[in-house]
Structures are given as structure tokens and as C-alpha cells.
């Protein structure tokens, strides 16, 4: 059952699974990939009604969902330490540059990559360093 906080309605992965009939794994993958916008609070993902509408919103000029159009944006990649022991932060403008930065680290598991929209500075996704390498190493 969705949670109501004032006028805000939050849907968990379980709620979306029941409402949409989509597997929980698929919903979590869409959230990690940024295809569906949500926020993680503790160990639970939550999605607003607006984010669900935005995912399904289609521009009248073509049949491409807004979520797919967002992929054409330019991104900035911020490589940063995940705890207080590693305070390094490096901003990269390309995936190749980000891969080089990650691969130069002694312990990759201590780093994550924050993917930001270059024009707005909005944080799109945070990816563990190793996951970023696995996701993009075959593309370069």
C-alpha cells in the first residue's frame, strides 16, 4: 500500500510490482539505470506519482517516452570515495575518462560514480565503481 506524507504519495517497489504487474527485479533495474526516477531511503526505493507519470509521458510529436529522451542529455561523471577514508573526488566529462580514473585507483570498491546532468547539475544516478566499469568497459 502506498505511503502518504501530506500531499505526497510514495510507491515502493512492492507497490509498483502489484499495480503494474512488472517484476520487482525489473523495477529495481529501471530505478538503478535512471529510467524510472526514484529515491532510496534506507534499503527501500520510493517513487512518486509524478515520476510514474513522467516515465509513461509521451511527447505528442513522436512516440518516444520522456524517460528515453533523457538519455540524449550530456552527463558529467563524478568519481568519489564512498567513505571517510577516501576523500578523493574527480569530475570527468566522458565515460572513457571516468574508466581511466577508476582503473587508476588501488581499491575500486572504495569508489562510486555520481552521474549528473551536465546542463542542470541534477544527480541522475550513483553507481558503484566496479559496476560502472562492468557496465561501460565493453563499450570502449
**Which whole-number Å values give the CA distances from 48 to 32, 51, 75, 77, 119, in the listed order?**
16, 5, 24, 26, 24
**What are the tens digits of pLDDT across the range 42-80?**
888 999 988 888 887 754 445 555 545 445 568 899 999
Residue 12 pLDDT level (bands cut at 50, 70, 90): very high
Q: Is 31 exposed, middle or buried (0-12, 13-18, 19+ CB in 10 A)?
A: buried
Residue ranges of domains in the chain? 3-69, 73-136
Indicate the CATH number for domain 3-69.
1.10.10
Higher pLDDT residue, 29 or 73?
29
Relative to beta strand 123-128, strand 44-48 is unpaired
Amino acid at each position: 500500500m502506498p505511503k502518504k506524507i501530506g500531499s505526497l504519495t510514495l510507491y515502493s517497489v512492492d507497490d509498483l510490482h502489484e499495480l503494474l504487474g512488472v517484476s520487482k527485479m525489473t523495477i529495481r533495474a529501471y530505478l538503478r539505470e535512471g529510467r524510472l526516477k526514484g529515491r532510496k531511503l534506507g534499503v527501500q526505493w520510493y517513487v512518486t506519482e509524478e515520476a510514474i507519470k513522467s516515465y509513461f509521458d509521451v511527447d505528442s510529436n513522436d512516440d518516444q517516452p520522456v524517460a528515453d529522451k533523457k538519455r540524449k542529455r550530456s552527463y558529467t561523471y563524478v568519481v568519489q570515495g564512498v567513505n571517510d577514508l577516501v576523500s578523493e573526488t574527480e569530475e570527468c566529462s566522458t565515460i572513457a575518462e571516468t574508466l581511466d580514473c577508476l582503473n587508476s585507483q588501488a581499491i575500486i570498491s572504495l569508489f562510486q560514480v555520481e552521474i549528473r546532468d551536465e546542463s542542470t547539475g541534477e544527480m541522475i544516478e550513483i553507481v558503484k565503481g566496479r559496476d560502472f566499469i562492468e557496465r561501460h568497459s565493453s563499450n570502449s
